[in-house]
């Protein structure tokens, strides 16, 4: 068990740059709280649970899409960017939620899906109607090759060709995801203007920022050149599962095009018209994720922050791997600002992916709170929820259905949030939910952990409070990152303080070499005193240098 000590240093963040070192709590609205008994979470449900989110000490919430949608990809296929889907509520419900969040001191970030729309969007319906209407080139259309096959070899992340034949236009259209999610043609400035108007609509309603879905997918190669192959021994499954042939290509032409930089500057300029707004981009690229992160966050006229997938997929984040990631980040993005996450709505929960004990989970969240960058937490992570086991007959995710059983899709991380252990549906709502509640999750519900002072939930609160009250951890510089065996060490420094951080990411006792000087504990593991006695398995020490 880890004991916690904390001293407080006033944070020096300005109101405008609250995002730098900020902590964002992701809400998947279908699965957070159901207020009306239809089995699907909604905006009033979120509003009712905001006091709990505020009690965690986070800065902001990020809400996955709630726009009007046929729900083929559960909201990531938008048919109306300026309205709420009735299953989630109304614009009035949205406004009430924003008002309550702001009253509680929470910023509100919404998930903007700009790379593609639903095929039910009026823009696409008009575009596919003919070759010469006003929106004919708002999407990516191309003639077939002479033999009738698609224009090139581009693949969809969800399986198969990225091109779908349309019998009305007698052309193919591009879809990087489902065939019902056609890609916009960002080479058309009118498309950019229309999507910037969407962003302005939500900024005017009071949102504090955007999480930008698949930010590097906006532009495609205008010449439609085929992607080159990736040698078999270099294939990377960080973006798509290993059973997906998407990993066989180096996607140099189907996404991450240089023209994107100019559009991102336009988007940043728009958000800068409003006070204290922020943009968080999702970079989906298996080969050049950190490089693109650096490109998109370099300078004050691009995105405020981005995240790649280094800690969201793959094996456990060992001490050497953390060093490797930050060394790569320093080379690729020396001026960039990262946002770190271990779990989200698209990946297996890290509690299961890394096979963590509670002590390991504590150490990892404290490490996240200590590393330079901003942080995203995913709903239920603070309860230690692992991946739920969803039977094939209960699957909703088309991605999992396509690649079952080798890849079970994303439903296991999207099952309902658990609020009350003894309630029939764990307090999620009064009716059978759209995905089954995990019986194991129900035993880890909020009410049970609130009553247990040693529960992981309370540790998350303490770890967040440590970061929020320690200037060096929130926004200071980072230096001396080093891995010695399982022990990761580094220093964070702000104008007013120096903090030394050490984490034993292993199951064995480890020696710890503390830099010279006098150090006092900010947050430390039991038995380590000032770290001079070493660290036990999954222990950590965070020490402040006496005198600043």
Residues taking part in catalysis: 213, 273
Rounded CA-CA distance 125/3 in Å is 60
Order of strands, edge to edge, in the sheet holding 171-174? Answer: 141-142, 171-174, 163-166
Residue 391 Ramachandran class (φ > 0 left, ψ -120 to 50 alpha, else beta): beta
Residue 348 backbone phi and psi in degrees, to 5: -60, 135
Q: Residue 209 in contact with residue 373, Cβ under 8 Å?
A: no
Sign, CA dihedral 466-469-474-477, equals negative
Name the helix (H) or strand (E) containing 24.
strand 23-27
Residue 87 Ramachandran class (φ > 0 left, ψ -120 to 50 alpha, else beta): alpha
Residue 372 burial (CB count, 10 A): 21
Give the closest residue to 138 by CA, choosing from 195, 75, 83, 178.
195
Rounded CA-CA distance 545/548 in Å is 6
Rounded CA-CA distance 510/487 in Å is 7
Residue 407 Ramachandran class (φ > 0 left, ψ -120 to 50 alpha, else beta): beta
Most distant CA pair in the chain: distance in Å? 75
Residue 33 Ramachandran class (φ > 0 left, ψ -120 to 50 alpha, else beta): beta
């Amino acid at each position: 068990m880890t004991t916690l000590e904390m001293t407080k240093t006033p944070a020096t963040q300005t109101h405008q740059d609250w995002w730098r070192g900020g902590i964002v709590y992701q809400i998947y609205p279908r699965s957070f709280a159901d207020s009306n008994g239809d089995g699907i979470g909604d905006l009033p449900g979120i509003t009712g649970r905001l006091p709990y989110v505020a009690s965690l000490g986070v800065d902001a919430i990020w809400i996955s899409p709630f726009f009007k949608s046929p729900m083929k990809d559960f909201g990531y296929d938008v048919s109306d960017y300026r309205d709420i889907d009735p299953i989630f509520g109304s614009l009035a419900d949205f406004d009430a939620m924003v008002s309550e969040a702001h009253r509680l001191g929470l910023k509100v970030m919404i998930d903007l899906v700009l790379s593609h729309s639903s095929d039910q969007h009026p823009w696409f319906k008009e575009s596919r109607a003919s070759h010469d209407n006003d929106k004919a080139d708002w999407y990516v259309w191309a003639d077939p090759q002479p033999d009738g096959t698609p224009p090139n070899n581009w693949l969809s992340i969800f399986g198969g060709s990225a091109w779908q034949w349309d019998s009305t236009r007698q052309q193919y259209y591009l879809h990087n995801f489902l065939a019902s999610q056609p890609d916009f043609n960002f080479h058309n400035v009118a498309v950019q203007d229309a999507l910037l108007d969407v962003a302005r609509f939500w900024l005017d309603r009071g949102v504090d920022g955007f999480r930008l879905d698949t930010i590097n997918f906006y532009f495609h190669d205008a010449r439609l050149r085929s992607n080159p192959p990736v040698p078999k021994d270099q294939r990377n499954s960080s973006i798509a599962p290993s059973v997906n042939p998407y990993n066989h290509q180096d996607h140099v032409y189907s996404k991450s095009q240089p023209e994107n930089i100019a559009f991102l500057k336009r988007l940043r300029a728009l958000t800068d018209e409003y006070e204290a707004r922020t943009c968080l981009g999702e970079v989906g690229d298996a080969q050049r994720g950190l490089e693109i992160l650096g490109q998109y966050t370099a300078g004050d006229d691009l995105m405020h922050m981005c995240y790649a997938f280094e800690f969201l997929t793959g094996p456990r984040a060992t001490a050497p791997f953390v060093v490797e990631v930050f060394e790569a980040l320093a080379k690729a993005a020396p001026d960039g600002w990262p946002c770190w996450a271990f779990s989200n709505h698209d990946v297996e929960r890290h509690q299961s992916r890394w096979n963590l004990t509670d002590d390991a989970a504590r150490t990892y969240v404290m490490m996240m709170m200590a590393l330079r960058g901003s942080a995203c937490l995913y709903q239920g992570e603070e309860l230690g929820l692992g991946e739920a086991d969803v039977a094939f007959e209960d699957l909703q995710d088309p991605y999992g259905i396509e690649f079952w059983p080798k890849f079970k899709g994303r439903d296991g991380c999207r099952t309902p949030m658990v609020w009350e252990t003894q309630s029939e549906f764990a307090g999620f709502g009064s009716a059978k939910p759209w995905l089954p509640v995990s019986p194991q999750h129900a035993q880890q519900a909020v009410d049970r952990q609130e009553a247990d002072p040693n529960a992981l939930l309370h540790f998350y609160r303490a770890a967040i409070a440590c970061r929020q009250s320690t200037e060096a951890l929130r926004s200071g510089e980072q230096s001396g990152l080093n891995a010695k065996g399982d022990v990761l060490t580094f220093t964070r420094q702000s104008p007013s303080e120096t903090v030394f951080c050490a984490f034993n990411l292993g199951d064995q006792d480890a020696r710890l070499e503390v830099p010279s000087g006098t150090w006092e504990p900010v947050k430390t593991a039991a038995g380590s005193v000032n770290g001079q006695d070493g660290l036990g398995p999954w222990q950590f020490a965070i020490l402040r240098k006496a005198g600043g």
